[in-house]
């Protein structure tokens, strides 16, 4: 029998939990024991434990925030301000053409008897290039010359008759004054002189006309032989021996002769033509010789514009230096007209100026947002925001293009700009004066020193750019391996 104090089923109830715990792993056991302890705590102790846990989580989050902000600060991509050569230029496209060009053909229709050249042959001035059947032309010249010879004889005869009638008239005048001749004899002598004078004038006029015809026949015969008008090369041959060629034939141009010296006619946009002057140096490239740069000079600017796709362009004539004779007429080239060039000047990457503008714009927007969250920082945020907006407006006004805002300023003064200089691992805005610009850099007139590290982007923005556009990164590398993209400022700035 059991004692009265012994609870019924106590032994069984103590053994069942022990049997259950044997089937749980260590983590579950710890959770059950912790829950048992918490249930055993007083209400005040429970609140204390919960508050301590919340504080621990908050401290961890704050520490992670400070760590990530510090890491972001150190993830700026920078480049050093350095001395280099900077060239300001205007881009244009154009076509190569010969300095001299002559399209030659026979003036009179006739059979081609000889073509002495082929396309690409070099020729010298006076060289016989082609000939036409001369028989009919030679006959015409001989006939014209015979007529001239007869005219010369006739003029001489008429002149002798005129001189004779003139002497007779003068003699009759003297006799009339002496009263020894009748008036009728005087009138006859005058009529004979007038007739002889008219016949002489007619003979002289016929001689002049026939001489012109003979000269034309001589010219026609000479034009039956095509002669090189200058030193050059044969560009084209449009015929063959035995064909009829002349001004009335279907292909009147038989040969094309071109000078080996070429010139470039480039089309310059009306927005840039005001900076182009005669004598400026020009560099140009052709897709045929992609690794070679050719040079030239501006010779002449055509005053009349050409309209291409509703845009006004001005043809600019440029001389070409090609001592190796690599270039060919008709090639399309890309030219850079050198407006100004400075060697060994302080330069800053364009990406640094662009990034600074992005930085200020985002900072201004961020300051405007933060100013509404608390009255204590409102004045400072509004002041920073206003200053950034003012700087942005000034930069936008003076930086609409590579050389915008600079043409009206003294070269020593430059135009305003802003960059971020990394100091103590922190970006610091600095005002600079910018001068010439090329594809990648600005000239630094003032505000920076050689070796200054300017911010050109962040690793975060570079990673983003890399994941979204491999082509963009390839373009950046081809322009000098400038590093990451522009992006915005790191978090927390």
Q: Which structure tokens are listed for 279?
A: 């004598």
pLDDT at 9: 44
pLDDT at 146: 96
Q: 199 in a domain, yes or no? A: yes
pLDDT at 252: 76
| Domain finish residue from 204, 223, 242 | 223
Same domain, 454 and 352: yes
Residue 302 in this model has a pLDDT that exceeds 80: yes
Question: How much is the mean pLDDT over the chain?
Answer: 78
What percent of the chain is modeled with pLDDT above 90?
45
- Lowest model confidence (mean pLDDT) among 15-29, 199-213, 363-377, 444-458: 15-29
pLDDT at 368: 59
| 3-61 pLDDT, tens digit each | 444 444 444 444 444 444 455 555 565 566 655 665 666 667 667 767 777 777 777 76
Contact 353, 418 (CB under 8 A): yes
> Span 91-114, mean pLDDT?
91
Q: Which structure tokens are listed for 126?
A: 């006076």
| 463-479 pLDDT, tens digit each | 555 444 444 443 333 33
pLDDT at 377: 44
pLDDT at 94: 93
Same domain, 145 and 54: no
pLDDT at 190: 87
Domain ranges, residue 466: 77-83+343-478
Residue 162 in this model has a pLDDT that exceeds 80: yes
Same domain, 50 and 148: no
How far, in Å, CA of 144 to CA of 162, rounded?
27
- pLDDT category, 415, cuts 50, 70, 90? confident
Same domain, 58 and 153: no
- Threshold 0.85, pTM exceeds: no
pLDDT at 249: 65
3-state DSSP assignment of residue 455:
strand
How far, in Å, CA of 451 to CA of 347, rounded?
11
Count the domains in the chain: 3
| Domain finish residue from 189, 223, 257 | 223
> Span 212-226, mean pLDDT?
91
Same domain, 455 and 350: yes
Q: 58 in a domain, yes or no? A: yes
pLDDT at 250: 59
| 419-447 pLDDT, tens digit each | 999 998 889 999 999 988 888 899 999 99
- pLDDT category, 286, cuts 50, 70, 90? very high
pLDDT at 431: 92
Same domain, 64 and 153: no
Q: Where are the alpha helices (DSSP H) in 22-75?
A: 26-40, 43-73
pLDDT, greater one: 467 or 320 = 320
Same domain, 54 and 170: no
Q: 425 in a domain, yes or no? A: yes
| 244-274 pLDDT, tens digit each | 877 666 567 889 999 999 999 999 999 999 9
Q: 197 in a domain, yes or no? A: yes
Residue 488 in this model has a pLDDT that exceeds 90: no
pLDDT at 49: 66
Same domain, 455 and 361: yes
Q: 401 in a domain, yes or no? A: yes
Contact 270, 312 (CB under 8 A): yes
Q: 466 in a domain, yes or no? A: yes
pLDDT, greater one: 408 or 176 = 176
Kindly write down the DSSP assignment for every residue of 280-342, as one continuous string: -EEEEEETTEEEEEEEEEEEEE-SS-EEETTEEEEEEEEE-B-TT----TT-EEEEEEEEEEE
Same domain, 355 and 450: yes
Residue 97 in this model has a pLDDT that exceeds 60: yes
174 CB burial (10 A radius; 0-12, 13-18, 19+): exposed
Q: What is the dihedral of CA 135, 136, 139, 145, to 10 degrees?
A: -120
Q: 102 in a domain, yes or no? A: no
3-state DSSP assignment of residue 255:
strand
Same domain, 362 and 474: yes
| Domain finish residue from 223, 254, 286 | 223
Q: 163 in a domain, yes or no? A: yes
pLDDT, greater one: 249 or 397 = 249
């Amino acid at each position: 029998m059991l004692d009265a104090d012994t609870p019924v089923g106590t032994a069984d109830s103590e053994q069942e939990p022990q049997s259950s715990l044997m089937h749980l792993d260590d983590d579950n056991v710890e959770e059950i024991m912790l829950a048992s302890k918490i249930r055993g705590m007083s209400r005040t102790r429970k609140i204390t434990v919960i508050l301590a846990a919340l504080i621990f989580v908050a401290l961890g989050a704050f520490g992670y925030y400070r760590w990530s902000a510090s890491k972001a600060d150190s993830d700026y991509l920078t480049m050093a301000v350095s001395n280099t050569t900077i060239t300001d230029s205007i881009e244009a496209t154009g076509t190569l053409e010969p300095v001299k060009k002559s399209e030659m053909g026979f003036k009179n229709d006739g059979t081609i008897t000889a073509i002495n050249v082929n396309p690409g042959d070099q020729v010298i001035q006076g060289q016989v290039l082609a000939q036409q059947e001369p028989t009919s032309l030679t006959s015409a010249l001989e006939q014209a010359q015979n007529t001239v010879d007869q005219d010369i004889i006739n003029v001489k005869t008429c002149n002798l008759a005129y001189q004779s009638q003139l002497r007779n008239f003068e003699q009759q005048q003297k006799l009339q004054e002496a009263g020894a001749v009748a008036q009728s004899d005087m009138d006859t002598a005058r009529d004979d002189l007038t007739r002889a004078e008219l016949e002489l004038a007619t003979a002289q006029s016929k001689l002049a006309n026939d001489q012109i015809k003979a000269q034309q026949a001589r010219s026609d015969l000479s034009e039956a032989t095509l002669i090189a008008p200058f030193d050059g090369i044969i560009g084209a041959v449009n015929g063959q021996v035995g064909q009829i060629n002349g001004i009335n034939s279907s292909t009147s141009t038989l040969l094309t002769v071109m000078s080996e010296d070429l010139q470039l006619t480039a089309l310059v946009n009306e927005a840039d033509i005001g900076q182009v002057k005669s004598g400026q140096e020009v560099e140009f490239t052709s897709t045929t010789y992609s690794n070679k740069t050719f040079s030239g000079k501006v010779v002449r600017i055509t005053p009349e514009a050409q309209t291409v796709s509703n845009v006004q362009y001005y043809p600019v004539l440029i001389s070409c230096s090609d001592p190796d004779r690599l270039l060919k007429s008709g090639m399309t080239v890309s030219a850079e007209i050198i407006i100004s060039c400075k060697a060994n000047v302080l330069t800053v990457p364009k990406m640094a100026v662009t990034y600074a503008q992005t930085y200020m714009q985002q900072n201004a927007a961020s300051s405007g947002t933060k100013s509404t969250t608390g009255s204590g920082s409102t004045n400072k945020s509004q002041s920073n925001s206003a200053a950034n907006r003012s700087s942005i407006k000034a930069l936008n006004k003076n930086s609409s293009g590579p050389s915008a805002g600079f043409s009206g300023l003294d070269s020593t003064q430059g135009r305003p700009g802003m960059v971020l200089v990394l100091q103590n691992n922190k970006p610091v805005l600095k005002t600079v004066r910018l001068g010439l610009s090329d594809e990648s850099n600005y000239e630094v007139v003032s505000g920076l020193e050689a070796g200054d590290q300017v911010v050109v982007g962040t690793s975060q923005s570079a990673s983003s750019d890399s994941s979204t556009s491999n082509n963009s990164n390839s373009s950046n590398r081809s322009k000098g391996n400038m590093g990451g993209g522009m992006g915005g400022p790191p978090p927390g700035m």
